[in-house]
Structure 1
Amino acid sequence: MIVLTADSASELFAAACQAVLLNGKLAAPRDLTTTEVVGAHLCLTNPRRRLVAVPPIRMINPAFAVAEALWILSGSDAPWIFDFNDNLRQYADDGVLRGAYGPRIRHWDSGVDQLDAVVRKLTVDRQSRQAVVQIFDPARDHRGYRDVPCTLGYRFFIRQGRLVMHTSMRSQDLWLGFPYDIFATTLLHELMAGWLGVEVGEYHHHVDSLHLYAEHAPAAAECLHHEPAITEMEPIAVAWPSLDAVLAQIISGDGNLSDGTPWDTFSRMLTSYRTWKLGERNLARKLAHDTPGPLGAALVAWYQHLTQPALVSPELA
């Protein structure tokens, strides 16, 4: 069991890489060799510092991080997400990711919006212990689909005027999955705090199997020789009744809000990456350069990363 606390996702990622490499044991589910720690509790004290970067070794595609978070929040399993990470297609059954979190969170059993349920629960009873979002569904997830959710669920608590969030995962690929998962979950965490009118508290990430695949272990070890980059996102908020309309506007490509808010930044990120995928590389770079804040800088860095074949992360290129 490992317990780690850090003020930024980058520092937490680097500390987790070190802990897994030092304490992990070999395990090979599906005949894929990993170094694994069974039982990990990772605490992020500042959830707005959600962007993982340990340059030049671990860079992530920030456009995909944004796209996946919005895809989940909107309750979608639509295939537009493949435009931002084509590698996901290999996990689809009949073109659909059967383990997509969005429908489970927003339309459980075709009816329950679990985010709405949490907002209502904690609005009525600020001390409730019943603010739970369930993701793993045995009725679906034992059918043999390629995509089975790694996340079991989320829990929210208001304590001392702050919203504390806990995530439980049966499995976490530290190298490929963690940087994107923590971005999406802490974004939900911050939005939920806004809907409830409280400050953002600590974020807790509980993992049963925290692991590094053999192919990523050398790079994880190399990360230990580089300083994590620490950036903090601007505060983000939207009224709960307006969430779906804002998400639809941004996802559709009609979300050029030009208002300087984080939602405007998200829109610019998606537009730039879609432009990149169309082959208009110079325009995509300009759009990224003109996007303010750490996300814009991260997208510029990602495009630079993609032009260096030896350093490309194949899962997201």
Structure 2
Amino acid sequence: MIVLTADSASELFNAACQAVLLNGRAVCPRDMVTTEVMGAHLCLTNPRRRLVAIPPARVINPAFAVAEALWILSGSDDPWIFDFNANLRRYADDGVLQGAYGPRIRRWGGGIDQLDAVVRKLSSDRDSRQAVIQIHDPSRDHRGYRDVPCTLGYRFFIRQGRLVMHTSMRSQDLWLGFPYDIFATTLLQELMAGWLGVEVGEYHHHVDSLHLYAENAAAAAECLQHQPEVTEMQPISVAWPHLDAVLTQVLSSGSGLPDGDPWNAFGRVLAGYRAWKAGDRDQARKLAHDTPGPLGTALTAWYDHLTPAALTVGHLS
């Protein structure tokens, strides 16, 4: 069991890499060699510092981070997510990711919006311990689909005027999964805090099997030789009744959203990456340059990371 606390996702990621490399044991689920720690509690004290960046060893694709978070929040399992991470196609059944979180969160059983349920629960009882979002669905997840959610569920608590969030995962690929999962979950936490009119508190990430695949172990070790970059995202909010409308605007490249609005920055990042994928590299770099804050910087770093590799297989492209 490891317990780690950090003020930024970058520092937490580096600490977790070190802990898994030092304390992990070899296991081979599905004949894939991993180094695994059983039982991990990772605490992020400042959830707005959600971007993982340890250049040049670990550079993430912020466009996919944004796209996945919005895909989840919108309740979608539509295949447009493959435009931002083509590698996800290998986990699809009949073109659909059967483990997509969005429909489970926004339309559980075809009709329950769990975000709305949590808002209502904590609005009526600020001290409630029943504000739970369930992800694991035994009626679906034992059918043999390629995509089975790693996340079991989320819990929310208002304590001392702050919203604390706990995530439970049966499994976490530290190298590929953690940087994107923590971006999405802490964005959800911040939005939920806004809907409830409280500050953002600590974020707690509980993992049963925290692991590194053998092919990523050397890169994880390389991270320990570099200083994590610490950046803080601009505060973001939207009124709960307007969430879906704003998400629609962002997914159409932020049209109609004012400059300086963090939702506009999300739209620019998505539009820029679409331009990159379409081959318009100059426009993609211009949009990244014009995107304020850490997201623009991270997207420029991702393009720099991709260029020498010429979009070789293995990147989240």
Which TM-score band applies after superposition, normalised by the shorter structure?
A: over 0.9
Q: Which residue of 2 aligns with 1:188?
A: 188
Give the letter aligned to residue 52 of structure 1.
Answer: V
Q: Which residue of 1 aligns with 2:5?
A: 5
Q: Which residue of 2 aligns with 1:265?
A: 265
Whole-angstrom distance in 1 between the partners of 2:105 and 2:201: 22
Q: Once the 2 structures are TM-superposed, how far is the Cα of residue 165 of structure 1 from its aligned partner?
A: 0.1
Whole-angstrom distance in 2 between the partners of 1:145 and 1:216: 25
* Cα contact 2:4–2:42 (8 A) shared by 1: yes
Q: Any idea what SS the aligned residue of 2:18 has?
A: helix
Q: Which residue of 2 aligns with 1:120?
A: 120
Whole-angstrom distance in 2 between the partners of 1:315 and 1:127: 44
Q: Any idea what SS the aligned residue of 2:53 has?
A: coil
Q: Once the 2 structures are TM-superposed, how far is the Cα of residue 256 of structure 1 from its aligned partner?
A: 4.9
The answer to whether the aligner puts 1:52 opposite 2:62 as a matched pair is no
Q: Which residue of 1 aligns with 2:175?
A: 175
Whole-angstrom distance in 2 between the partners of 1:254 and 1:290: 13
Q: Which residue of 1 aligns with 2:75?
A: 75
Whole-angstrom distance in 2 between the partners of 1:48 and 1:176: 20
Q: Which residue of 2 aligns with 1:201?
A: 201
The answer to whether the aligner puts 1:316 opposite 2:307 as a matched pair is no
Q: Which residue of 2 aligns with 1:218?
A: 218
Give the letter aligned to residue 125 of structure 1.
Answer: D
Q: Once the 2 structures are TM-superposed, how far is the Cα of residue 315 of structure 1 from its aligned partner?
A: 3.6
Give the letter aligned to residue 100 of structure 2.
Answer: A
TM-score by length of structure 1 reads 0.98
Q: Deviations over 1:186-214 (max 9, x none)?
A: 00000000000000000000000000000
Whole-angstrom distance in 2 between the partners of 1:31 and 1:310: 30
Q: Once the 2 structures are TM-superposed, how far is the Cα of residue 169 of structure 1 from its aligned partner?
A: 0.1
Give the letter aligned to residue 288 of structure 1.
Answer: A
Stretches of 4+ aligned residues off by more than 2 angstroms: 252-256, 310-313
Shift in alpha-carbon separation, 1:23–1:311, aligned structure 2, 3 A: farther
Q: Which residue of 2 aligns with 1:105?
A: 105
Q: Deviations over 1:130-172 (max 9, x none)?
A: 0000000000000000000000000000000000000000000
Whole-angstrom distance in 1 between the partners of 2:114 and 2:58: 34
Q: Any idea what SS the aligned residue of 2:144 has?
A: coil
- Report the identity percentage: 79
Q: Which residue of 1 aligns with 2:253?
A: 253
After the TM superposition, which of the residue ranges 304-313 and 75-84 deviates more from structure 2? 304-313
Q: Any idea what SS the aligned residue of 2:59 has?
A: coil
Give the letter aligned to residue 164 of structure 1.
Answer: V
Q: Any idea what SS the aligned residue of 1:308 has?
A: helix
* Cα contact 1:27–1:36 (8 A) shared by 2: yes
Q: Deviations over 1:36-78 (max 9, x none)?
A: 0000000000000000000000000000000000000000000
Give the letter aligned to residue 83 of structure 2.
Answer: D
Q: Which residue of 1 aligns with 2:145?
A: 145
* Cα contact 2:119–2:195 (8 A) shared by 1: yes
Q: Which residue of 1 aligns with 2:133?
A: 133
Q: Once the 2 structures are TM-superposed, how far is the Cα of residue 312 of structure 1 from its aligned partner?
A: 6.5
* Cα contact 2:253–2:268 (8 A) shared by 1: no
Shift in alpha-carbon separation, 1:212–1:7, aligned structure 2, 3 A: same
Q: Which residue of 1 aligns with 2:301?
A: 301
Q: Which runs of 5+ in 2 are unaligned?
A: none
* Cα contact 1:256–1:268 (8 A) shared by 2: no
Give the letter aligned to residue 109 of structure 1.
Answer: G
Shift in alpha-carbon separation, 1:226–1:7, aligned structure 2, 3 A: same
Q: Once the 2 structures are TM-superposed, how far is the Cα of residue 250 of structure 1 from its aligned partner?
A: 1.3
* Cα contact 1:133–1:154 (8 A) shared by 2: yes
Give the letter aligned to residue 76 of structure 1.
Answer: S
Equivalent positions of 1:11-30 (< 5 A) are 11-30=11-30
Whole-angstrom distance in 2 between the partners of 1:254 and 1:286: 16
* Cα contact 1:132–1:154 (8 A) shared by 2: yes
Q: Once the 2 structures are TM-superposed, how far is the Cα of residue 308 of structure 1 from its aligned partner?
A: 1.6
Q: Deviations over 1:70-110 (max 9, x none)?
A: 00000000000000000000000000000000000000000
Q: Which residue of 1 aligns with 2:233?
A: 233
Give the letter aligned to residue 194 of structure 1.
Answer: G
Q: Once the 2 structures are TM-superposed, how far is the Cα of residue 232 of structure 1 from its aligned partner?
A: 0.1
Give the letter aligned to residue 146 of structure 1.
Answer: R
Give the letter aligned to residue 290 of structure 2.
Answer: D
